[in-house]
A and B are shown apart, each in its own frame.
Chain A
Amino acid sequence: MRFILGFIGAVFAIVLLISMISGISEWVTNPPSPLAAEEFHKHPEPLHLASDGPFGKFDKAQLQRGFQVYSEVCSACHSLSLVSFRDLAGLGYSEAEIKKIASDWKTQVPSINPDTGEAATRKALPSDTFPAPFPNEVAARAANNNALPPDLSLITKAREGGAAYVHSLLTGYQNQPAELLKKFPDAKTPQGLHYNPYFANLNIAMPPPLTANGQVTYADGTPATVDQMSKDVSAFLVWTAEPNLTTRRAAGLAVVIFLLIGTILGYLAYHQLWDEAKRTVRPTGPLDPENQAKSRRAKAKAGVAG
């Protein structure tokens, strides 16, 4: 049997080596041509938010500004389908304010006419989730040059880089570098797309959403630069992706401290128990008090202190 198994192992190894050799020869004879998306793609620039780090907390003023950017700019195309108006309490809005935000929301909630049963809309309530700007995917694509604006509820969790990616993407629109066109003449950004080195394939369907300083007017007087607006909306989207973030960390800190103390106590108790194991579990062992006494007597007899 060992011979058969050895044979099987050798067969697998040989096929792997054949695969490897053919892979290498393919690589040598026909080296893969570099792609523009590989060379010019940029990783997100670091972004520092109040919610970063194990002890970070949300900056509610910033979240409110970010919510303002979402509602005045992003919400024209992007839904926020997992978030309810009532969740805005986490941003520091009062119940009355939330009610007003909900009923003033530009898109209404689909409902039925109570008399005729026909499709109708009604004003949103705090218990509703944010109504989507488009009734369905087809409508969303039709209005956006066949591109689907993704839902933003979880966007900072669903993209490598999270909030930093969102911020870099929003501020990263630029003209296609001449160098890129020189190297890859075929990689010209197609009509209707926009060059953005932070986007995976470099050409994004979303037109630059934040274009001018002062595009929104912040109630708290913060200057609404494009960078500031991008930062604020990124922070807001960290919150939408995980409203429980600060609760989670606070609970985590308590649990970690508790477990740390418990583990140390457990370790000490364990050590104490085992240090005596050899002496007490086996009363006839060499560390048994009687034997130790004998040892001490022998040492004393031999004139050794101890």
Chain B
Amino acid sequence: MATKAGSAEVSQTAGPIDGEEGVRRRDFLNVAAVSFAGVGGVVALAPLFVQMSPSADVLALATTEVDISKVQSGQGIKVSWRKQPVFVRNLTPKEIAEANAVPMSALRDPETLAQRTKPGKQNWLITLGVCTHLGCVPLGIGEGENKGPFGGYFCPCHGSEYDTAARIRQGPAPKNLFVPDYEFTSPTTVMIGAKGK
């Protein structure tokens, strides 16, 4: 109930009867009591804020195991990881060559295909299927979908165009499609979300 204004007013009521000492003691008590109320109020807000962050059951779903044995060269699949789409694409040699042929200077967010894949598994391009512009799901992973002029992905919302390494080439998106943490637990399974060793 006590407020900052409270302490000011309280000290006004302090009469001239007591000496300087008394005034200081009085102020101390009021300031201390009001500060306690203030600190208590702020601390009481903490649970109201932390309850909004992901709960333990959400955090527990941090990894998704994907079987990639059936993804042929040139195909891709869309899987769900932490409730977000992930594109798993088996690049053809032609697509790999196209990606490697692009000079770094032509890229808005310069990264090589090798940096975006695992060593020896350069044909497996695994990215989040979330456009870095405003979060739409780009086209291009499904059979027959518009891959855009650069042969990668095309976001229909605002026309961002990605190349075969899922790097931004044209349109409003600022970054390449995000590559999540993942590791190959066997030649045909990928654990998305797992920190690679």
Chain A residues packing against B (C-beta within 8 Å): 84, 86, 114, 126-127, 258-259, 261-262, 265-266, 268-269, 272-273, 276, 279-281, 289
Residue contact B60 to A273, C-beta cutoff 8 Å: no
Residue with the highest number of chain B CB atoms closer than 10 Å, among A127, A259, A279: A127
Cβ contact within 8 Å between A273 and B32: no
With contacts A259-B40, A266-B2, A272-B26 taken as known, whether A114 is within 8 angstroms of B67 at the C-beta atoms is yes
Residue of B nearest to A126 (CB): B60
Contact in complex: A261, B36 (CB < 8 Å):
yes
The answer, yes or no, to whether B13 is at the interface (CB within 8 Å) is yes
Q: Does B8 contact A (CB under 8 A)?
A: no
Which residue of A86, A261, A269, A276 contacts B56 across the interface (Cβ within 8 Å)? A86
Cα distance A272–B31 when bound, in Å? 13
CA distance A262 to B36 in the complex (A): 6
Known: A84-B57, A272-B26. A280 touches B14 (CB 8 A): yes
Some 23 contacts from A to B, beta carbons below 8 A apart, are: A84-B60, A126-B60, A127-B60, A258-B40, A262-B33, A262-B37, A265-B33, A265-B36, A266-B2, A266-B33, A266-B36, A266-B37, A269-B10, A269-B29, A269-B34, A272-B29, A273-B30, A276-B14, A280-B14, A280-B15, A281-B13, A289-B15, A289-B17
**A273-B56 in contact given A262-B37, A266-B2 (Cβ < 8 Å):** no
In chain B, what residue has the closest Cβ to A270? B33
Supposing A273-B10, A273-B13, A280-B14 touch, asked if A265 and B32 sit within 8 A by C-beta, the answer is yes
| A86-B13 contact given A265-B32, A266-B36, CB 8 Å threshold | no
B134 surroundings in chain A (CB, below 8 A): none
Q: Which residues of A contact B2 (CB under 8 A)?
A: 266, 269
Quick check: B13 and A280 within 8 Å, CB to CB?
yes
The answer to whether A86 touches B60 (Cβ under 8 A) is: yes
Answer yes or no: B157 CB below 8 A from chain A CBs: no
Give the Cβ gap from A267 to chain B, nearest Cβ, in Å: 9
The interface residues of chain B, by DSSP majority, are classed as helix
Does B102 sit within 8 A of A, measured CB to CB? no
CB of B71 within 8 A of chain A?
Answer: no
B158 to chain A: closest CB distance in Å? Answer: 34
- Chain B residue with minimal CB distance to A262? B36
> Complex: how many Å from CA A280 to CA B36?
26
Chain A residues positioned under 8 Å from B34 (CB to CB)? 269
Most buried by B among A84, A261, A280: A280
Chain A proximity of B104: nearest CB distance (Å): 40
The complex places the Cα of A281 from the Cα of B15 at a distance, in Å, of 9
Kindly report which residue of chain B lies nearest to residue A261, judged by CB atoms. B36
Who on chain A is nearest to B7 by CB?
A: A269
Q: Which residues of B contact A258 (CB under 8 A)?
A: 36, 40, 43
Give the complex CA separation of A281 and B9 in angstroms: 12
A268→B29 contact, CB < 8 A: yes
Chain A residues with Cβ below 8 Å from B43 are 258
From 1 to 49 in chain B, residues with beta carbon under 8 angstroms from any chain A beta carbon are: 2, 10, 13-17, 26, 29-30, 32-34, 36-37, 40, 43
B50 to chain A, nearest CB (A): 12
- Indicate if the CB atoms of A276 and B13 lie closer than 8 Å: yes
